[in-house]
Chains A and B, each alone.
Chain A
Amino acid sequence: MSPAAGAGSPQTEEGPIGKVSARLEHLYAGIRSSARRSRRISWFAWGFLFALSGIQIVPLLFVLALVPSISPPFGGFLFWTAIGATPSAVLFALVVRELWVGSGEAVRFREGGPFPASVPTGEPGPIGLSLQTVQESQKRISQVRSELEISMVPLVLGGSGILFFGGFLLLAFALGANFANLTIWSFALAFAVPLAILVAVIWVLWSLAKLWVAQYQEGLDEQVLQMISLEGEFFGRFASGPTGS
């Protein structure tokens, strides 16, 4: 029997089971919120890559069109590069923010604490609290995990682009810009520094994503196992046969 079709919010004074129900409804609201958040991260991450690919277009267009009429620094290539980079920087910041908030919510769930007010709870359609619902939540969290994994692809690709761009900037400005005198070690250093930064940033983001998913997954896995065990025990003890009273 599926309770989802018929079970609504109870109108009783709150007993222990009512409290558990409230806790669970809130947890599932958190999981639905995670699903939406991971989708947003996916959009932001691909948007970041798209915006990044356009960085060079903006300064080129403006420099080509406006250099004759605008005085420095507004006509400088770096200035317009910074302008062009703003959308991708904003999108990247949004990815970081969503990952940070999502993992924070997950940790609070695992610790049994309340969710922040940002987690919506008033969605229509009672989900019906059952083992089936817990298992459905497991599936949702697996989807969140997949989306977060896929979102790392544009971040790595975009980060690689920044890596090369940053390397050339280092070569051009920090290391003297005299390419004829640069050794192979200078080139290696110029790309090693941005590479190290990129690896560190991606590692931090990936750790946040893993923390986020793991908090929910471990909790739900435990709950499913314990619910299966409880069902067996309850029905074995109280409903093994018609007894009357």
Chain B
Amino acid sequence: MDRPDLFVLGRLLEVLARAGDPPLRTQLQQRAGVNYTMLERYLEFLTTHGLAAMDGGGRLSLTPKGQEAYRFLSDSLTRIFGTAGPGRRAGG
């Protein structure tokens, strides 16, 4: 896999970090807004590097390393880009 995109990675980490119950793949895909092919690639990356783990029921959760990565990424992206936006007008 090429070097993953930090924003997509960040979205996936954020969904996993903020989910009340560990989500299934399809739930993660919907909440992060990525397509299935991309989800598979990024999940491979996350699990290979020990950032996320899947239990026997196919539910995904962050590892401690993944939680640290999420905090690092959210702090860094917020510092670089800020969040002073127009509320939720943005919608692409």
The residues of A with any CB-CB pair to B shorter than 8 Å are: 1-3, 5-27, 29, 112-115, 121-123, 125-132, 223, 226-227, 230-231, 233-235, 237-239, 241-245
Residues of B within 8 A of A7 (CB): 5, 7-8, 11, 33-34, 38
Residues of A within 8 A of B75 (CB): 16
Q: Quick one: given A130-B6, A226-B80, are A234 and B50 in contact (CB under 8 Å)? A: no
- 16 A-B pairs with C-beta separation under 8 A: A1-B2, A6-B37, A7-B7, A10-B33, A12-B11, A16-B83, A17-B10, A24-B7, A24-B90, A114-B84, A114-B86, A123-B92, A131-B5, A227-B80, A231-B3, A233-B76
Residues of A within 8 A of B80 (CB): 223, 226-227, 230
Would you call B58 an interface residue if the criterion is a C-beta within 8 Å of the partner chain's C-beta atoms?
no
Residues of A within 8 A of B88 (CB): 14, 22
Interface residue from B3, B10, B92 paired with A25 (Cβ < 8 Å): B92
Counted as pairs of residues, one from A and one from B, with CB atoms less than 8 Å apart, the total is 185
Residues of B within 8 A of A20 (CB): 7, 10, 74, 77-78, 81-83
- Residues 56-92 of chain B, each 1 if its beta carbon lies under 8 Å from chain A, else 0: 0000000111101100111111101111111111111
What interface size band does chain B fall in? 35 or more
Pick the most buried of B4, B51, B64, B69: most chain A CB atoms within 10 A of its CB. B4
Instruction: Determine the distance from Cα of A21 to Cα of B53 in the docked complex, in whole angstroms.
Output: 25
Residues of B within 8 A of A239 (CB): 45, 49, 51
The residues of B with any CB-CB pair to A shorter than 8 Å are: 1-8, 10-11, 13-15, 17-18, 30-35, 37-38, 41, 45, 48-51, 53, 63-66, 68-69, 72-78, 80-92
Interface residue from A5, A11, A126 paired with B92 (Cβ < 8 Å): A126
Instruction: Determine the distance from Cα of A238 to Cα of B86 in the docked complex, in whole angstroms.
Output: 32
Contacting pair B3 A245 (CB below 8 A): no
Interface residue from B7, B8, B51 paired with A238 (Cβ < 8 Å): B51
Instruction: Determine the distance from Cα of A181 to Cα of B6 in the docked complex, in whole angstroms.
Output: 76
Residues of B within 8 A of A13 (CB): 18
Residues of B within 8 A of A238 (CB): 49, 51, 65, 68-69, 72
Residues of B within 8 A of A2 (CB): 5
Instruction: Determine the distance from Cα of A211 to Cα of B6 in the docked complex, in whole angstroms.
Output: 31
Interface residue from A1, A17, A231 paired with B14 (Cβ < 8 Å): A17
Contacting pair B17 A227 (CB below 8 A): no
Instruction: Determine the distance from Cα of A75 to Cα of B62 in the docked complex, in whole angstroms.
Output: 83
Contacting pair A114 B30 (CB below 8 A): no
Residues of A within 8 A of B7 (CB): 3, 7, 17, 20-21, 24, 128-130
